[in-house]
A and B are shown apart, each in its own frame.
Chain A
Amino acid sequence: MKAGFTRFARNRMALFGAAVLLCLLLLVLFTPVIYPDNPFKLAGPALQPPGGRFLLGTDTLGRDIAAEIAYGARTSLIIGVGATFVAIVLGAVAGGVAGYYRGATETVLMRITEFFQTIPAFIFALLIVAILSPSVSSEIIAIAAVSWPSIARLVRGEFVSLGGREFVQASASLGASDARIIFHHMLPNCASSIIAVGSLLIGTAILLEAGLAFLGLGDPNVMSWGLIISAGRAVLRSAWWICTFPGIAILLTVLGINLVGDGLNEALNPRLRER
């Protein structure tokens, strides 16, 4: 693990990504201090350009865009991390059970996984949110529902290849139960792949969330980047700053997460190391 950290630190781009994420995290932590007011509150005149009294200007209703972005960052992170966590748990269980027991169990579980994969992710997520009514939790459910198949397939593959390894057989010959073999031996040995793929999944989840909010399927009571863009798209040509700054925020966050994810993948995945 320590060697993995050194390898990660050698990757400049990954370090840059980590720095971006660290800034984002600090912003989220200190939002209540910097902007104590509700971001939905009208702070000043409408459509103020950036650089004046308001750092990033105001939107069509006179809300402070900087404050909106700060609060939106919290939403994006909660949904991104939450949905990824749910997806990993679901995917690891489905993939793990399929890869460990093989046979009919595997066939059934993997066909279900493939069924989920055949539906276009964004449209499926839209459908779920529309059914569950827009809220943060339904967004998490929807995004997790479209993200878990990739984790399931990954974990299944790892389990299948680990299952034939002698240390797993050795454990079985000691009399270990299935649960012990799965949780003590197999999961720790594919943790690095799960972390690497999971970190990339957070970026995708944030994009999906922004997309849902843009189409008006975000939680209307919670500020989010997609919501700001959605509100500003009507005045895109006259007040460019409303859409631009949250757009840059999304770009930087997803880029940072992808860079970190790639760095982790390279550092933890020995097969890519020599490239």
Chain B
Amino acid sequence: MSETVLELEKLTIALPPGADRANAVSDVDLVLRAGKVTCLIGESGSGKSLVARSILGLLPRPHVRVGSGRILFEGQDLAVAPQNNMRVIRGAKIGMIFQEPMTALNPLHTIGRQLDEVLRIHTQLGKTARRARVLELIDSVHLPEPGRIIRSYPHQLSGGQRQRAMIAMALLLSPRLLIADEPTTALDVTTQAQILYLIRELQREHRTSVLFITHDFGVVADIADEVAVLQRGTLVERGTAAAVLGAPGHPYTRALIAAMPKLVPPPARPANVQPFIVEARDIAKTYGTRSMFGGRVTPALAGVTIELRRGETLGVVGESGSGKSTLARAVTRLLPIDSGEILLDGADIAQLSRRQLRPIRKRVQMVFQDPYASLDPRQRIIDIIAEGPVIHGTLPAKAREEAQTLLGLVGLDPSAAQRFPHEFSGGQRQRIGIARALALHPEVLIADEPVSALDVSVQAQILALLADIKARLHLSMLFVTHDLRVALQVCDRIAVMKHGEVVEVAPTNDIFFNPQHAYTKALFMAVPGGTWQDRQDWKAPPERIGRKP
């Protein structure tokens, strides 16, 4: 057993009165060992991030504070350590990586200056020595051309590069403990795989202890030595990765593992030979304006052709910037396109005016990504759902009556009707969003990342609801997602997009067993926990993490 670096003893973090529970976490015991990666996994609201912050003394005081318990690090209790002591420990002995590297880096300073600042504060090194150390670290996180990187500003780097710079910064002073709070959540899957690999590699090299906060069991499978599962502030299970993933003891852990989308062969589906209902022919869309000062132009769709058959679910899979959301908004005509045709039942709708579009709107409806932003916070649920029919001339009373029925269809209580969106959880809001889309009796449903903002257990429910409704109402669905696992689960055919182009379209089974394009293969390789799921029985940490992606 390797030595203990940090120990949480009955840690309880108190929330202010009036919060949904008294303590964010209660009686958490956790031991972080040198050279080990401990994953703290939990759904949103489980208190996992607050545990990480409490270690660094970064709780949003005075509202949230450590209520009781101890945080033992090098013989010191960090829970009661004065701020002056904490400043020495932060950075020097405990490093931290955040979820969104863009907000964690100062946009006005170069990367080099921000790294240099850390050394200037914590060490006596001279200018040349500091520069050498910065370059060394930049090189060790495999950023290309360290000399150029240190002169760059954060916005000039990609998300993955920024996260690498953050890791370099966290490791500058060779901390004994590295806390990573969802460091890959904001990244694309292929980048995520690289960052996970990097953390693993550096951690082995320096024998750093890592506390890795995540919500994704796939990530856990890829990186963890030890796992702790947090459910609404209580640690329900902890043990080695092999034990927790292989034979989960607690029902909550089992439910979480069961709910996560799997990389398994999709069920065989009969080929759909119905006529096309939506055809996008060679559509192009460019963002940015050519003003008199020049301006930047970004192509989002570069001649995309896509066909959706009646009754079919077509998945559009791609990473951020691939143009998949633009495609969804173009097909719904929420965004004007520059060129190309969009045929609905054979009729071109790409150039219709807003007035001409009205009847079309009824036939094509959209479910949005963010359930917190897609409902008007000032309207009652019943009015949100009834809005579409009212716009299209249904009497308000009748529209409300229908809305009430729809609430039942999407699995919500009738009493929800008179309430406001903020009273609902993310999953419930997404149900409301689906009910709103269904209120117009559409033929085509466009779902733009409908589950990516939801916890896994809720994801599974919403996916099941969508599948059920689609079958019952004979809808055709365009399903946009970044998650290949989700797409495999729900789609009949999958289109893979990259840089505004469709690189491969094939039935789901063919995509799974026989991906043609190199990029599709790369996406499969990058799925977190992929290897773990390939082999039904879990053994040692997988080989693939040792392979350079």
Chain A 165-189 near chain B by CB (<8 Å), digits 1 or 0: 1110111111111001000110011
Do A189 and B378 form a contact, CB below 8 Å, given A171-B387, A174-B388? yes
Contact yes or no, B366 A180, CB < 8 A: no
Contact yes or no, B366 A173, CB < 8 A: yes
Contact yes or no, B388 A169, CB < 8 A: no
Q: Which residues of B contact A174 (CB under 8 A)?
A: 361, 365, 387-388, 391, 436, 440
Which of B357, B358, B374, B392 contacts A170 (CB under 8 A)?
B374
Contact yes or no, B387 A176, CB < 8 A: yes
Contact yes or no, A170 B368, CB < 8 A: yes
Any A CB within 8 A of the CB of B546: no
Chain A 147-175 near chain B by CB (<8 Å), digits 1 or 0: 00000000000000000011101111111
Any A CB within 8 A of the CB of B370: yes
Any A CB within 8 A of the CB of B322: no
Q: Which residues of A contact B377 (CB under 8 A)?
A: 167, 189
How distant is the Cα of A208 from the Cα of B184 in the complex, in angstroms? 56
Contact yes or no, B361 A166, CB < 8 A: no
For the side of the interface on A, what is the size category?
10 to 19
Q: Which residues of B contact A173 (CB under 8 A)?
A: 332, 334, 361, 365-366
Q: Which residues of A contact B3 (CB under 8 A)?
A: none
The closest CB in chain A to the CB of B63 belongs to: A274
Any A CB within 8 A of the CB of B46: no
Contact yes or no, A167 B440, CB < 8 A: no
Do A175 and B436 form a contact, CB below 8 Å, given A166-B370, A166-B373, A170-B374? no
How distant is the Cα of A185 from the Cα of B329 in the complex, in angstroms? 20
A to B contact number (C-beta, < 8 Å): 58
Do A169 and B378 form a contact, CB below 8 Å, given A174-B440, A175-B362, A176-B391? no
Any A CB within 8 A of the CB of B427: no
Contact yes or no, B391 A167, CB < 8 A: no
How distant is the Cα of A188 from the Cα of B369 in the complex, in angstroms? 23
Do A170 and B436 form a contact, CB below 8 Å, given A185-B376, A189-B376, A189-B378? yes
The closest CB in chain A to the CB of B388 belongs to: A174
Closest-CB distance, B384 to chain A (whole angstroms): 8
How distant is the Cα of A180 from the Cα of B332 in the complex, in angstroms? 19
The closest CB in chain A to the CB of B357 belongs to: A175
Q: Which residues of A contact B369 (CB under 8 A)?
A: 166
Closest-CB distance, A219 to chain B (whole angstroms): 40
Any A CB within 8 A of the CB of B101: no
Any A CB within 8 A of the CB of B375: yes
Closest-CB distance, B387 to chain A (whole angstroms): 6
Which B residues between 380 and 411 are near A, CB-CB below 8 angstroms? 387-388, 391-392
Which A residues between 187 and 215 are near B, CB-CB below 8 angstroms? 188-189
How distant is the Cα of A170 from the Cα of B392 in the complex, in angstroms? 15
Q: Which residues of A contact B362 (CB under 8 A)?
A: 175
How distant is the Cα of A176 from the Cα of B362 in the complex, in angstroms? 11
How distant is the Cα of A174 from the Cα of B362 in the complex, in angstroms? 7
Q: Can you list 28 A-B contacts (CB < 8 A)?
A: A166-B368, A166-B369, A166-B370, A167-B373, A167-B376, A167-B377, A169-B329, A169-B374, A170-B366, A170-B436, A173-B332, A173-B334, A173-B365, A173-B366, A174-B365, A174-B388, A174-B440, A175-B357, A175-B362, A175-B388, A176-B387, A180-B391, A184-B376, A184-B379, A185-B376, A185-B379, A189-B377, A189-B378
Name A residues whose Cβ lies closer than 8 Å to a Cβ of B: 165-167, 169-177, 180, 184-185, 188-189
Since A165-B373, A184-B376 are in contact, a sample of 5 more A-B pairs with Cβ atoms closer than 8 Å, ordered by chain A residue number, is: A169-B374, A170-B436, A175-B361, A185-B379, A189-B377
The 10 A-B residue pairs whose C-beta atoms are closest, nearest first, are A175-B361, A166-B374, A174-B388, A166-B373, A188-B378, A166-B368, A167-B376, A175-B358, A173-B366, A185-B376
